[in-house]
Each structure stands twice: as structure tokens, then as C-alpha cells.
Structure 1
Amino acid sequence: MTPFVFGSALTVDAGTKDLRAADHLLQALAADLALPEGGFGCTHLVRDDRPRVVLSFTLESPEARGAARDRLTALGHEVTDGAPDDCGRAVRYPGVAALTGTLPVGEILAASAIDAVTVLGTPGDPAPDLPLHTRDHVRPQWRQGRLVLAAQPAAGGVLVPFEHPDPTPCCVDH
């Protein structure tokens, strides 16, 4: 799989306040820019005097970055070169479209850019044949150059991604 190259990214700051809105904006901008399916699109939490969620997109060539920068700027977004940090949350990445339904952990690792699955509260890696119910919402995070999906045990002996696709409104910003 193609790794996320932080230097080949553009960061988009649209002043978005929550992850759900950032996910939707990221998908809409990727479609508007006609970005290839195999690229990376990530969200990054910014915790400064103006907390928000910014987006990053990888673009293969300087020409593609320039065209995307021009289009995003024309749409009124603040755009900078590079990714804001090295620990983004991947929304678009190679293989994400295949991660639907319930799949064995080994298949998730083989079919996507995800490098590892960790299970909260357990040591070691989960068995490759352990089923993971994706809930059609798989958001791994970059950790030390590897794309890692945090999962948790669920009823029926399956795993689910730790991040829920529809968080309780009181907990969205935590």
C-alpha cells in the first residue's frame, strides 16, 4: 500500500468544530477535487486558542497539490502545505471501501492500508480470524508511522471499531 507521506499533503482549515462535520466535509472536498480512491484524507484535532478539526489530503504530484490548493482557496478555505501533525485519523485510505459488514481481522489488514488492529484492554494482537463488525465506519489513526485501528470487544464474540459512527451528542466533543 502507498504510505501517507506527510510532506506531500495539504492541510485544509475550514474552522470545523466536530469530527462528524469534518468527515462529511472531507468526503465532499475529495469528491469536488476528484481525488483518487487510493489517496489518504485525514482529520486532525487542533488544540490551541481556537480548537477545531482540520483536514489533510495527500496528493501525488506538485501539480496536483497546486491545483487542489487553488480550488480549495477559491472555496474560501485556509490551505497550508504539509500535514499539521503525524497522528491524523484516516477517513479516506486505500481499501476503505471494502471495509463493510463483518470481516476477519486478517482480511481487514490484507485488504486495506491498516497496519494493525489493537483491542482496548487486551495485550497482544487479535487473532486474524477474529470477526470485526465494521459498522461501515472504520477510522484508524496514525501512530508512529503506522495506521492502527483501535477496536473493542462486543456482544457475540466480535470486535467493533472503538469509534462509534453515531456518537451520543453529549459525548461528541470528548
Structure 2
Amino acid sequence: MNPPPYAIGIDTSVTRLHEADQLLRDLAAGLALPPDAFGCTHLVRDADGGRPRVALSLAAGSEAVIESARGRLTGQGHQVKDGAWDGAGRAVLYPGADGLTGTLTVAELVSGSAIERVRVLGAPDGPDPATRVVTRDFVRPQWRDGELVLAAMPAVGGTLVPFEVPDPTPCCADH
């Protein structure tokens, strides 16, 4: 699966991922996006090397949906550009995201969401589909070469956990 063909980027002054996640969720709630829409965060820097920030993107399979979102967002004073910021967005909103709670098998996670693959850090091969993933109710996959991929790491009892934690320590929160 590739990202949906129609996308816009929303510039922000936000510098922390959790603030960007909340802004993205708030904006999307006011847009009544269809369930197949994607909302991503992107770490960006101005061409002159200015302060890094977290920009947003929205993507959908319908040009009309994206153009409607563009109109509403620009009407609210947001700076909107054509297309996503890059091809490696960190997905916050995606089909099936709300169902990724508790503990699921890799097979359940992949079949119940837009995530196509789970990659275990430090492992050359993918995990067994029966491996349990403790989601911590926080699953943020990234687009990699046209695939939505969840980076995971080994955890207690042979389980996996998503690499990104829901409440990072302040020293690591902006990386």
C-alpha cells in the first residue's frame, strides 16, 4: 500500500511530538475525515537550517476530501501546502489505529489496521505472526518505501512493544 494520492501539509510552530499529535487529532476532529484518511507528523527544518519543528500532513483517497480540508484549514489561518512534507511520515491517524489497544498478535495488528509490516529492531527477519505486541495503546508506525511499518523492540516474556513510547522522558522528547 502506498500513501493515499491526495495530501496536504500543514505548517506548525510545534516542536514536540506529543503536542503535534494532539494538534493533528484536534484539527482532524473538526474536518470529519473519512476512516481511510491518514494524518502524519513530519520532523522538518527550514531550508536555511532554522529551528526544527513538527509539521503535519493529511492524506486521503479523495481529492474532494483533501480540498475541503485545505479550505477549512486555511480559513482557520493555518499555512497549508500541496503534498506531504516527505515520504516518511509518522502516522498518528490511519485506518484501524483506534483498535490497536491492549495486547494483540502481530497478525491481528497487521490484519486490523493499515500497518503492513512489523520490523523488530536488531532482528534480520520479521517476527512470527503469533508474537504478542503490547501496544500500550500507542502505536505510531512510519511510512518506509511506500509501506506503513511499525518499529518494535523485544520486551518481557517474549512480547514486543512499539519502539516509540507514549510518554518519553523530557531529554528524549524532541528527538
Q: TM-score, normalised by structure 2?
A: 0.93
Give the match for residue 70 of structure 1. Answer: 71
Contact 2:43 2:55 in 1 (8 A): yes
- 1:134 to partner: Cα distance: 0.3
Distance in 1 of aligned mates of 2:2 and 2:32: 20
Query: What does residue 41 of structure 1 align with?
Result: 39
Cα distance in 2, alignment partners of residues 102 and 126 from structure 1: 15
1:28 pairs with 26, 50, 61, which one? 26
Mapping of residues 135-154 of structure 1, within 5 Å:
135-154=136-155
Select which of 16, 19, 24 maps to 1:18: 16
Q: Percent identity?
A: 58
Q: CA deviation at 1:61?
A: 3.0
SS at match of 1:156: helix
Superposed CA offset, 1:16-44 (max 9, x none): 11110010001111101111222111111
**Number of residue pairs aligned between Structure 1 and Structure 2:** 172
8 Å Cα contact 1:37/1:92 also seen in 2: no
Check whether the contact 2:36–2:61 (CA below 8 A) recurs between aligned residues. Answer: no
Determine if the alignment matches structure 1 residue 127 to structure 2 residue 128: yes
Letter in 2 for 1:17: T
Shift, 1:74, TM fit: 1.9
> Matches of 1:135 and 1:29 in 2, distance apart?
24
**2:47 aligned with 1:51:** no
SS at match of 1:137: coil
C-alpha distance in structure 2 between counterparts of 1:59 and 1:89, whole Å: 15
Instruction: Show the counterpart of 2:112.
Output: 111
| AA aligned opposite 2:75 | A
Structure 1 position 3, deviation (Å): 4.1
**1:72-102 alpha-carbon deviations (Å, 9 max, x no partner):** 1122211011111100001111111111000
- TM-score, normalised by the number of residues in structure 1: 0.94
Distance in 2 of aligned mates of 1:173 and 1:39: 26
User: Does the 8 A contact of 2:58 with 2:66 survive in 1?
Assistant: no
